Structure 1
Amino acid sequence: MGDPDADTKQMKAFLAAEIIAALNRRHLTVRAAAEVTGVSRRIFRTSATPILPSLPSIGLCGC
């Protein structure tokens, strides 16, 4: 609502959700997901629910 970057943020959130879905379909461990994505294992471990809440800390979503 009035955010000039709303389209970009929405696209990043959608892309992040697609990446997470792909990792989940592959049934990757935290270590394997970190190796495949190049993202720190800490980011994957810190989220009890889906990884989405951690995304702003890895720069995929500026929400």
Structure 2
Amino acid sequence: MDASVFFSPEGERGRARLNREQRAKALCRDCPVLTQCRAHALTIAEPFGVWGGLSEADRNSLLDPKQSGTC
């Protein structure tokens, strides 16, 4: 498997980033270590890539609810 689908190339934005993240998340759905991968990324506040089916923005929202506009 090409791991590049899980990480944003420099300068990637908009639709290209969304499409890549959706492909990565689809791969994560069937992964036997999804839960452990997600827990690791959240525990260390991994700043880059899709881990455990969560993008950088997804993890930031979970780790800092103020960023998602909720209390």
Q: Does the pair score TM above 0.5?
A: no
The structure whose RCO (Cα within 8 Å, separation 6+) is larger is 1
- Normalised-by-shorter TM-score class: 0.3 to 0.5
Higher helix share: 1
TM-score of the two chains, using structure 1 as the length reference: 0.40
